[in-house]
Amino acid sequence: MPFAPVEKPKFTFIDLFAGIGGFRLALQNLGGKCVFTSEWDKFAKITYKGNFGEVPFGDITKESTKGYIPDKFDLLCAGFPCQAFSIAGNRKGFADTRGTLFFDIEQIVKKHRPKVIFLENVKNLVSHDKGNTFKTIVDILENKLKYKVYTKILNSATHANIPQNRERIFIVAFDPEQVENYADFKFPEAIKLTKTIHDILEKGKQAENLYYKKDHQYYPELAKTMVSKDTVYQWRRVYARENKSNVCPTLTANMGTGGHNVPLIKDDFGIRKLTPKECFLFQGYPENYILPNLANSRLYMQAGNSVTTTLIERISNEIINVL
């Protein structure tokens, strides 16, 4: 267990939809203590336990699970899955989020009133349902729960010195009753990307099963397109696409399944998929983060579903400065 809890914490937080602990890693690095965590995927729980020594609680939509949340904590964080919202106005004029996972966050916030809420989601959340979904979320945080809300789309490549093109929407909300100088909050500034994919790619020959064999039906197509060792290509069902910016394309949860969206590189030994470890490094996970003995497809999915933990850390740092 490389990432033991902080002994004398500066603040406390809960980690919802925790996945493999990207938020937790970032906040522990800044002196925070995780006082509750939940994740329902059994394979993500294995990875989480291997690194943090705790098994997350299960389904957060259940009242029994919510019952384990301590009364008081400073920060609620969640990279919540984005399911469709039904926008059914009720008499109060607020849109309704029942039946979505945001509703569970809303209930927890209402009951526990953390000083800060920190949420992450796919960029498409902003445009989903002509922008109504996003508007609903902000509306509920501001008008119903009375928090002060900041939102911004940030890219791991421009804001975390991680060579992955990954845009995500971040929502940070402060309770003005508890955080007087909430107006001082600013998202972190862009920083220069100094790392290249070679800072992350493992040296030498990798496992045989990651390489495309010469007799593979798509090999001729791959060999024709993939000429540079300095970029990550992406396999799109029937062709390979070069990533012109020489960074890794957005890692997705489905990159280990069905051969779509798979990031590929050319090394000295042939054409291969990224290793699971490389995918974790492209998400800002440290070298000593433990990958359990699970199928590669599971590990790819965990990396793709995760947050870029170093970007979370930069945003969290700005939050802590305000607190």
Indicate which residues carry an active-site annotation: 82
**Distance of alpha carbon 216 from alpha carbon 135, whole angstroms:** 47
Distance of CA 209 to the CA centre of its chain: 27
3-state secondary structure 145-211: CCCEEEEEEEEHHHHCCCCECCEEEEEEEECCCCCCCHHHCCCCCCCCCCCCHHHCCCCCCCCHHHE
Q: What one-character DSSP code corresponds to residue 83?
A: P
* 282 burial via Cβ count (<10 Å: 0-12, 13-18, 19+): buried
Placement of tokens 């949340």 in the chain: 69
Going 131 to 155 to 241 to 269, the CA torsion angle's sign is negative
**Distance of alpha carbon 108 from alpha carbon 194, whole angstroms:** 40
* 6 burial via Cβ count (<10 Å: 0-12, 13-18, 19+): middle
Asked if 155 and 188 touch (Cβ cutoff 8 Å), the reply is no
